[in-house]
């Protein structure tokens, strides 16, 4: 089985090289991606570029911001967005319906400053107690279209502690909650796991309880934007996101690969 996987990977890279050699010139693929995917997407772009001579130009923002930019006519070849936003753009004709790929699924978790006490978040009740006991928390601003922030606000409402948490909440525009706790500017960071585990000076506590995860919306899909100029190269990159080496990296970044 292992030999078969290695053979598949070798053949896959060879196919990518043939695609590149058959092109009249190396293409620059412009990608608009949810900022939560930055930690993995930048690392996936480099081997693809080496294998094909194409260039991947990634631009990151929150899902809400990117949706507006795309709806307003910003050009790019492809996008990677959480399912509700992606499907909305398909409906409005901004994203091509064919050839999309479920790229990865993310969880929302908690981090603290490196070496700090790790709160108990093992159950819904334990999480509620830990949030109420925390002196300060930080998460992405829902008003900026941050998917994790929008989800966490719903969690606070479900726990019945929205008002109690307001005075000790720090909001940031997008990714970077773990950097805030690493600097000692907040006690708990709540964000998508991929955003949390990349910060060396912050300790990842773990994911929120399963009952509080969003298993439908935090599914990130890659697809072509309508009117893509470098559609062939973009399609090759989308296929590459499902290659064995890509799947291995996606898992290493705290994500579940798409199926």
pLDDT, tens digit (0-9, with 9 covering 90-100), for 25-41:
789 999 999 988 998 99
Say whether pLDDT at 11 is over 50.
Answer: no
Task: Give pLDDT, residue 179.
Answer: 96
For residues 115-135, average pLDDT: 97
Task: Give pLDDT, residue 124.
Answer: 98
Give me the DSSP letters along the chain: -HHHHHHHHHHHHHHHHHHHHHSSS--EEEEEEEGGGHHHHHHHHHHHHHHH--EEEEEEE-HHHHHHHHHTT---SEEEEEHHHHHHHHHTTSB-SSS-EEEEE--EEEEEETTSPPP--SSHHHHHHHHHH-S-EEEE-GGGT-HHHHHHHHHHHHHT-HHHHHTTEEEESSS-HHHHHHTTS-SEEEEEHHHHTT-TTEEEEEEPPGGG--TTTSEEEEEEBTT-TTHHHHHHHHHHTTSHHHHHHHHHTT-EEP-
More confident residue, 3 or 196: 196
Domains of the chain: 2-105+218-257 (3.40.190.10), 108-212 (3.40.190.10)
Look up the pTM and report it. 0.74
Task: Give pLDDT, residue 12.
Answer: 55
Say whether pLDDT at 24 is over 60.
Answer: no
Share of the chain above pLDDT 90, in %: 75
């Amino acid at each position: 089985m292992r030999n078969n996987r290695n053979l598949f990977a070798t053949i896959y890279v060879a196919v990518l090289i043939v695609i590149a050699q058959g092109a009249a010139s190396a293409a620059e693929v412009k990608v608009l991606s949810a900022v939560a995917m930055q930690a993995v997407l930048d690392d996936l772009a480099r081997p693809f570029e080496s294998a094909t001579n194409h260039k991947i130009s990634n631009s990151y923002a929150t899902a809400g911001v990117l949706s507006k930019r795309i709806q307003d006519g910003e050009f790019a070849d492809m996008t990677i967005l959480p399912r509700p936003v992606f499907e909305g753009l398909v409906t409005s004709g901004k994203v091509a319906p064919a050839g999309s790929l479920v790229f990865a699924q993310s969880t929302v978790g908690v981090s603290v400053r490196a070496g700090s006490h790790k709160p108990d978040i093992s159950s819904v009740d334990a999480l509620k107690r830990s949030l109420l006991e925390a002196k300060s928390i930080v998460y992405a601003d829902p008003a900026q279209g941050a998917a994790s922030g929008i989800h966490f606000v719903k969690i606070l409402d479900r726990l019945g502690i929205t008002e109690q948490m307001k005075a000790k909440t720090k909001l940031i525009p997008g990714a970077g909650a773990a950097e805030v706790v690493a600097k000692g500017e907040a006690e708990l960071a709540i964000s998508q796991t991929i955003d949390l585990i990349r910060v060396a000076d912050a300790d990842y506590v773990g994911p929120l309880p399963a009952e509080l995860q969003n298993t439908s919306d935090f599914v990130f899909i890659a697809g072509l934007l309508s009117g893509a100029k470098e559609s062939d190269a973009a399609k090759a990159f989308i296929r590459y996101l499902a290659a064995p080496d890509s799947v291995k990296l996606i898992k290493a970044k705290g994500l579940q690969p798409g199926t």
